């Protein structure tokens, strides 16, 4: 009888990698709190990649390995809506994007930005968590 185990037997399944862009540290904390540590019970922890500049978003998106980009549409200098459109136009196989808008009436802007999902402020934790899970659960399997 052999006691050999497969090479990855003890390795934990990596959690989803989610990039979170906002120039406001409090907004980033609010999103992380609303989404939670993991997408469901027993799932691996989310790996958050927090960035505060558009240049950092572009660099991370180009490097790959991300399951979702959450972009703050209210960020100063470069808003998440315009940035989402730029990423979708310029990056081959751009990760899915979820944009946060300032109000529900801005949903048409999210459509223009080619975002995969939109959540408006004030953030509803149940809605945000559900939107993230709907996008990430299928894409984490194919990463």
Residue ranges making up the domain that contains 102: 17-142
Specify if 5 maps to a domain: no
Nearest CA to 96 out of 121, 125, 76, 118 is that of: 118
Q: What percent of the chain has pLDDT over 90?
A: 79
Statement: residue 91 has pLDDT above 80: yes
Q: Give the three-class secondary structure for 69.
A: strand
**Look-up of token digits 């989404």:** 35
Give the per-residue pLDDT at 138: 66
In this prediction, residue 3 carries a pLDDT of 47
Residue 7 lies in a domain: no
User: Is 118 among the domain residues?
Assistant: yes
Does residue 8 lie within any of the structural domains? no
- Looking at residue 142, its pLDDT comes to 45
Domain assignment of residue 89, yes or no: yes
Strands (E), the chain: 17-21, 47-51, 68-72, 97-101, 117-120
Whether residue 1 has pLDDT greater than 50: no
d(CA 118, CA 123): 11
Q: What's the pLDDT tens digit per position in 7-30? A: 444 457 899 999 999 999 999 999
How many other CB atoms are there within 10 angstroms of residue 63's CB atom? 8
Question: Is it the case that residue 4 has pLDDT exceeding 60?
Answer: no
Indicate the number of domains in the chain. Answer: 1
Q: Say what the pLDDT of residue 141 is.
A: 44
The mean pLDDT of 48-72, rounded to a whole number, is: 98
Mean pLDDT score across all residues of the chain: 90
pLDDT of amino acid 13: 82
How far apart are the C-alpha atoms of 118 and 107, rounded to whole Å? 7
Tell me whether residue 38 is in a domain.
Answer: yes
CATH number at residue 48: 3.40.50.2300
The pTM assigned to this predicted structure is 0.87
- The CB-side HSE value for 107 (13 A sphere, CA atoms) comes to 6
In-domain check, residue 6: no
């Amino acid at each position: 009888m052999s006691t050999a185990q497969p090479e990855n037997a003890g390795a934990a399944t990596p959690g989803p990698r989610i990039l979170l862009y906002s120039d406001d540290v409090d907004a980033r904390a609010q999103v992380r709190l609303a989404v939670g540590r993991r997408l469901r019970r027993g799932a691996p922890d989310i790996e958050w990649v927090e960035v505060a500049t558009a240049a950092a978003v572009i660099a991370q998106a180009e490097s790959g390995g991300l399951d979702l980009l959450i972009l703050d549409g209210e960020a100063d200098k470069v808003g998440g809506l315009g940035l989402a459109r730029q990423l979708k136009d310029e990056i081959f196989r751009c990760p899915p994007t979820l944009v946060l808008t300032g109000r529900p009436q801005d949903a048409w802007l999210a459509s223009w930005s080619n975002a995969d999902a939109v959540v408006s402020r004030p953030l509803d934790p149940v809605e945000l968590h559900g939107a993230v899970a709907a996008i990430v659960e299928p894409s984490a399997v194919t990463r």
